[in-house]
Amino acid sequence: PNMALDNAQYDKAEIDTSLKTIEAVNGDAAKVVVAFVVAGNPHRLEWKLRKVDGDWKVTDLLSVTGEWALSQYQCE
């Protein structure tokens, strides 16, 4: 599965034409919401980040469309 794209088929041209992003930073925490359409299906993802030693690290990835969060899986 391609979780970074909400399990959508990768079609760069199609994603590029519909991609919208919103960013919000609050101190050492940030959120990036992305929305795009692939094969007529809308997708919306939320990336949560935290600044650690000056670098931004992903703390979670949520699919608003698919109703899942990366944090619900055992990842190592």
Higher pLDDT, 76 or 10: 10
Architecture of the 3-72 domain: Roll (3.10)
Residue 62 backbone dihedrals phi, psi, to 5 degrees: -120, 140
Higher pLDDT, 69 or 28: 28
Helix then strand then coil, % of the chain, to nearest 5: 15, 55, 30
Domains in the chain: boundaries:
3-72
Q: What pLDDT digit, counting tens, does each position of 4-63 carry? A: 677 777 778 888 899 999 999 999 999 999 999 988 889 999 999 999 999 999 999 999
Q: What is the pLDDT of residue 26?
A: 97
